[in-house]
């Protein structure tokens, strides 16, 4: 346990137990996992929009491909934004 004193109140248990280095690793892990979610979600949204536009307008693969490319570009843009935020936090 991480208690300083034996008579500490229960509500304070765990406070100060996590090292600063561990906090940085956890924060970095959260940023990296949000990159993957952001990239995947952007691509899926682009594909779905393109698919339903093609289905509605009967234009076979054109809107599907166009919006898939938009989704990929949006995903990389999101990664770039997250990386800038991580770089700013590291300074």
Residue 16 lies in a domain: no
3-class DSSP string for the chain:
CCCCCCCCCHHHCCCCCCCHHHHHHHHHHHHHHHHHHHHHHHHHHHHHHHHHHHHHHCCCCHHHHHHHHHHHHHHHHHHHHHHHHHHHHHC
Residue 68 lies in a domain: yes
What's the structural domain count of the chain?
1
- pLDDT for residue 24: 80
For residue 59, pLDDT beyond 70: yes
Residue 18 lies in a domain: no
> Where in the sequence is the domain holding 73, given as residue range(s)?
39-91
- pLDDT for residue 1: 47
Per-residue pLDDT reduced to its tens digit, 10-48: 555 555 566 777 888 888 888 888 999 999 999 999 999
Residue 1 lies in a domain: no
- pLDDT for residue 11: 54
């Amino acid at each position: 346990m991480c208690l300083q004193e034996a008579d500490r109140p229960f509500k304070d248990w765990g406070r100060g137990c996590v090292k600063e280095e561990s906090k940085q690793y956890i924060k970095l892990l959260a940023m990296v996992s949000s990159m993957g979610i952001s990239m995947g979600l952007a691509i899926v949204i682009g594909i779905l929009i393109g698919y339903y536009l093609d289905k509605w307008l009967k234009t076979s693969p054109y809107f599907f491909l166009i919006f898939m490319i938009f989704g990929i570009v949006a995903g990389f843009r999101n990664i770039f934004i997250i990386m800038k935020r991580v770089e700013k936090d590291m300074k």
